[in-house]
Amino acid sequence: MSVGPVLGALRSATGPLHDALEARTQALSRLLCREGRAGYVAALHSAYAPLEAALEPWLIDEAGLDFAGRRKLSFLAEDLEALGRAAPQDADLTELHLSAPRALGLQYVLEGATLGARVLAREVRSAGGDLRGLSFFNCYGAEAGARFRAFCDVLEGRPDETDEIIAGAVLGFQIMDAALAPEGALQ
């Protein structure tokens, strides 16, 4: 996939945040143990529920996006049920101060998480773990790459809003870091 100017700027601006989030969350080790898995999925749910609700008014009609088809909360709810865990209280994200470009930046983090989740599922399987309670980790199936490229096309159509898209992505990484930190700040 060729990287356009918006995606290039996003990756450059958020790369350190992405790396820090990966290092801090200890995702693989948490997903390999039963209680850690349930806690990790619950943390995802606590962030996705308010995020998807906050993003919907900004992105539901975004041309080429298919926001409704990108929602993942139902997968997380299904996973929590499979793991015998109740849905946690949602994080309070009422003061996000969004705009369409900031919402796209937040969605960039969620779409990237979808790709990362597929990698984690493969790592869990390679380490001998089962995939029970991890439907979220393969929610797009074989379409994951194509769906990410389609999302990136939407981003590239907004080069004049790159700074605002980056601001939304930075916010997204901050929210996910707070939700997924092992101490569970948003749980």
The tens digit of pLDDT for each residue in 140-174 reads: 999 999 999 999 999 999 999 999 999 999 999 99
Average pLDDT along the chain: 92
Distance CA 170, CA 13 (A): 8
Domains belonging to the chain, first-starting first, are: 5-180 (1.20.910.10)
In the predicted model, what is the mean pLDDT of residues 74-87? 95
Distance CA 31, CA 62 (A): 34
- Of 120, 107, 123, the closest CA to residue 164 belongs to 107
Amino acid sitting at position 155: L
Task: Give the model's confidence band at 183: pLDDT under 50 very low, under 70 low, under 90 confident, else very high.
Answer: low
Distance CA 141, CA 169 (A): 24
Q: What is the pTM of this model?
A: 0.92
Residue 69 neighbours by CB under 8 Å, 6+ apart:
none
For residues 94 and 64, which has the higher predicted lDDT (pLDDT)? 64
Amino acid sitting at position 89: Q
Distance CA 141, CA 147 (A): 10
Distance CA 124, CA 137 (A): 10
Q: Up-side HSE of residue 168: CA atoms within 13 Å toward CB? A: 25
Distance CA 178, CA 43 (A): 9
Q: 31-45, 78-92, 104-118, 131-145: which range is least confident on average? A: 78-92
pLDDT over threshold 50, residue 187: no
* Whole-number pLDDT of residue 185: 43
Distance CA 48, CA 71 (A): 9
Are 6 and 156 in contact by the 8 Å Cβ rule? The answer is yes
* Whole-number pLDDT of residue 1: 62
pLDDT tens-digit readout, 39-57: 999 999 999 999 999 999 9
pLDDT over threshold 80, residue 177: yes
CA pseudo-torsion sign 133, 136, 137, 141: positive
> Is 84 buried (19+), middle (13-18) or exposed (0-12) by CB count in 10 A?
exposed
